[in-house]
Chain A
């Protein structure tokens, strides 16, 4: 299957700082990328959908100014958590798909801890 690389795997940052998470499709062109958040023992919560070259579409309740998503190329999308707070600590996962195919591939996820 196709490979999606997410970086970093884990990050610890101080309150008030910003953190950038990268999601790269290594062997295919990701026309659409999805960013999820997962709390312990809970299912994946879709945060936003981004199509290459367009502004991301955010789900209800997700602050677009806090979670900045950029999908400037067909192989890279970034999620920046701005002015992070401890309640932003979570597991963030990206997935990517190419064109109209149904199958999406997941990155390894990023464990964010804000102290």
Chain B
């Protein structure tokens, strides 16, 4: 059965710290992996990763995919209280019509 596992489930750090969130997957016919940030409402798209070893970067956030070891990490440097959210990882299998397989999410709390 296809599955996506995120770790840790929750994380509390202080402002300014760097965090690394993990997403591992077991999915038949992997196509791509997506990261989302969810605050109070719907998820906001962060990154889509399709190729191994190519880092995607957006400001203080970056992400990379390892298709050999079947995982991805999301890094956030110099964290701010506004980074507090649930970070969701999802995998898109080939020929799935974009039916995502979701991880349970990592709840990140940034303390001032």
Beta-carbon contact of A97 and B42 below 8 Å:
no
Q: What bracket does the count of chain B residues touching chain A fall in?
A: 20 to 34
Please give, as numbers and ranges, the residues of chain A lying within 8 Å of B104 by CB-CB distance. 42-43
B98 near A102 (CB under 8 angstroms)?
A: yes
Shortest Cβ distance from A69 into chain B, in angstroms?
15
Taking a contact as CB atoms under 8 Å apart, the answer to whether A44 and B45 are in contact is no
Asked if B45 and A6 make an inter-chain contact with CB atoms under 8 angstroms apart, the answer reads no
Chain B residues in 8 Å Cβ range of A75: none
Is the Cβ of A103 less than 8 Å from the Cβ of B48? yes
* B residues 87-112 in Cβ contact with A at 8 Å: 88, 92, 97-100, 102-105
Taking a contact as CB atoms under 8 Å apart, the answer to whether B44 and A43 are in contact is: no
Known: A43-B105, A102-B31, A102-B48. A108 touches B100 (CB 8 A): no
Cβ contact within 8 Å between B45 and A103: yes
- The yes or no answer to B16 lying at the interface (CB within 8 A) is no
Binding site for A on B (CB under 8 A): 31-32, 34, 36, 41-45, 48, 50, 88, 92, 97-100, 102-105
